[in-house]
Structure 1
Amino acid sequence: MHVLTLTNSADAPFMNQQMAELERRGVSFTTVSVSGDVDATTARGPTDYLRTVPKVISESSNGYDLIHAHYGLMAPMALAQLGTPVVLSLWGSDVHGPVKPVSSLCAPLCEEVVVMSEEMREELGRDARVIPDGVDLERFQPGSQDRARERVGWDDAGDAYQVLFPYPPEREVKNYPRARRIVTAADNLLDRPVELRTVHGVDHDTVPDYMNAADALLLTSHSEGSPNSVKEAMACNLPVVAVDVGDVRERLARVEPSWVGTSDEELITGLMDVLKRGERSNGREAAKEVSIERTTEQILEIYEQVAGETTQQVRDAPQIE
């Protein structure tokens, strides 16, 4: 099976992990990414997307079994060609944010739509397959906190609690000011210092070290689909304190210690409780439900269904003598 991947974020680790696992199962990919530069504070503009449409239309004529469009803004260009079936994966902000009208308009025109959480499916308002991004349990494993702190340069932290915030502070949706507020309050109330560690832009292979070096992960986002950092923390048995967004409550339902709250007071209480207990969580067991192997099987099932339906339609079409 050969798939054309369309994305506005070609370096997204969760997407590339999924594609690598699918490649091990016999799927091959060609990727077309939106032109233009982007960072934590700069998004691509309409011109960047428009410039990419002719490239997609041209590439799509090369005999692909299907097109997999990642993110709502990629759907219009995937649908601009008429001969190849489209699978659309929505990531979260394209359902909860200003891109939602585009996602809602295009979703019914795609052969299959994949969302990351039940909350996203309800917000989208139509049938979709709920498949969260999988976590690589071989890469994300529990490890020695002391050795991890040496590797990431936190070995001079003394007795201070280390709270991980694995996002750029500039990304508004991640709500860094609230994370800072929560940690400052906990620091004022606990006997030991509490430090907020913002980690971003590092090689994804080093992220497990930061997970193992930290005492807790703090998620304060305005909205999420199925946050990968939470699942990666679970795989490393790192306790998580999070707002109730996306599928966080479902993922952490059986994880102890962990905490899901809505108000600042609840998040402060939860963070203090997790830090004072000083224990690693049992999150790895729960993370097995969303291992990359399991989620890849579900995506492969969709690929085979969509490509198979198209093949059957060709077989059943009237033949011209």
Structure 2
Amino acid sequence: MPRKTVTPFRVLMVTGIYPTVEKPHAGTFVKSQVDALTEAGLEVDVIHPRVGIPTPLRYASALSQIWRAALSGRYNVINGQYGLWCFICRLQWGIPVVAAFIGDDILGTVTAQGGHSAKGNFVAMLSRQLCYRVDAVIVKSDQMKREARGPQQKIYVIPDGVNFSQFQPVPRDVMRAELGWDQNKYYVLFSNNPNIPVKNFSLAKAAVDRVRAKGIDVELVVATGLPHDTVVKYMNASNALILSSHAEGSPNVVREAMACNVPVVSTDVGDVRAVIGRTEGCTVCTPNSVEEMAAGIEVALAHTERTTGRADTQHLRGSIIAQQIIDVYEKATGLKIPRKTTGATENETQLKETTYAQE
């Protein structure tokens, strides 16, 4: 039986990406997780070494802080985010370590030529070996679990949660008026960095061009480097979200679009099929198929009503995912963590959120 811990349970989150004034889009999924765990009653401190200094100095800074934390006796668990940062976390043995892998740190990094980079292969090898050395492992999809190493019973598939209070449906015409978009035009949103090879922007562009060639007035909108509040507006103003990646773990933008009831057209990567596969208006495509992606866009544009994505992804609500992560913390530490009750059911919260969602 797990030992009962002293309240509150304290977590040290170690990450190389986290929102800053200069990069408000970086690591937003990590901050959402920190916020959800805090709301659940845990105390979470974040180590995010300053961006801009040489990489070796960033790792050295993190390691110094981790060692001090281990000596302080303040923390119950260290939660690393991404393979190399998880490795730094394991360079101490005083505090249990939960390693959270993001995607290419297990699967490898796809290059512009379609292969895998040497650095990505090294990180993947290190991450897989690390699975044997940490107390618990969190991956984003079943595919990542299959590629991971170590005892399978301590590898848990937990995708990132969605902040349903932030990502929720807003009338399309309202958002278009605010953004200055044409009310009579079709917009397809690419919410990734087009310069990252694995995101395969050329496929998204080719598919939209093919739809436009049929005389449909559609525009591909690229949203990268934007804060979450702006991304929500872009999603709600768009007719569809497109994900054309070669590979993914569990893409956050797909779940966020689903929470906004926006159709999604995506390649069959990561856990996308499980997330959108049963929602009308959404399409899962064969990777690199311009024809299938163009057809999926047409399906999305023809779906004039909001999708049921929000109802179909209730299990991905941030507060629910936080409880799953807390379960892993209990297994990793042998401690029983007190659960904080919010006083409102999920359905009651949803009713409050969707008051403004009707078009």
Q: TM-score, normalised by structure 1?
A: 0.89
Deviations 1:216-272 (A, max 9, x none): 000011211111111111111100000000000011121111000112211111112
The answer to whether the 8 Å contact 2:277/2:284 transfers is: no
Match of 1:316 in 2: none
What's the CA shift for 1:307? 2.6
Amino acid corresponding to residue 272 of structure 1 in structure 2: E
Q: Does 1:141 align with 2:165?
A: no
What percentage of residue pairs aligned between the two structures are identical?
A: 36
Partner of 1:83: 94
| 1:25 and 2:40 are equivalent in the alignment | yes
Following superposition, the deviation at residue 130 of structure 1 comes to 0.6
Aligned residues: 303
CA distance in structure 2 between the partners assigned to 1:15 and 1:231 by the alignment:
15
SS in 1 for 2:216: coil
Deviation at 1:294, TM superposition (A): 1.1
Alignment of 1:48-197 (within 5 A): 48-63=58-73, 64-97=75-108, 98=120, 99-126=123-150, 127=152, 128-154=155-181, 157=182, 159-189=184-214, 191-197=215-221
Q: Counterparts of 1:298 and 1:73 in 2: how far apart (Å)?
A: 24
Asked if the contact 2:159–2:321 (Cα under 8 Å) also holds between the matched residues in 1, the reply is yes
- Counterpart AA for 1:226: S
Contact 2:131 2:149 in 1 (8 A): no
- Partner residue in 2 for 1:315: none
- Runs of 4+ in structure 1 over 3 Å off: 44-48
Listed as ranges, the gaps of 5+ residues in structure 1 are 39-43, 312-321
In the superposition, relative to structure 1, how do residues 256 and 145 fare at CA in structure 2: closer, same or farther (>3 Å)?
A: same
> Is contact 1:162-1:194 (8 Å) kept?
yes
CA–CA separation in structure 2 for the residues paired with 1:223 and 1:278: 29
Partner of 1:2: 10
Q: What are the Cα deviations for residues 57-110 of structure 1, in whole angstroms up to 9, with x where unaligned? A: 223322111100011111221111111100011111111111211111111111
Distance 1:310 1:148, change over 3 A: closer
TM-score (structure 2 length as normaliser):
0.80
Q: Which moved more, 1:50-59 or 1:172-181?
A: 50-59
Say if 2:86 and 2:100, in contact at 8 Å, map to a contact too: no
Q: Tell me whether 1:235 sits opposite 2:235 in the alignment.
A: no
Check whether the contact 1:163–1:215 (CA below 8 A) recurs between aligned residues: yes
Q: Distance in 2 between matches of 1:268 and 1:139?
A: 30
What amino acid does structure 2 have at the position aligned with 1:130? V
Q: Does 1:271 align with 2:297?
A: yes
SS at match of 1:108: coil
Cα deviation for residue 50 of structure 1 reads: 4.1
SS of the residue corresponding to residue 241 of structure 2 reads strand
Tell me, yes or no, if the aligned pair for 2:266 and 2:285 is still in contact at 8 Å. yes
For 2:12, give the aligned amino acid.
L
> Which amino acid in the other structure matches residue 8 of structure 1?
G
The root-mean-square deviation of aligned C-alpha atoms, in Å, is 1.9
Q: Which of structures 1 and 2 has the larger relative contact order (alpha carbons within 8 angstroms, sep 6+)?
A: 2
Distance 1:53 1:310, change over 3 A: farther
Report if aligned partners of 2:40, 2:319 keep a CA contact under 8 Å in 1.
no
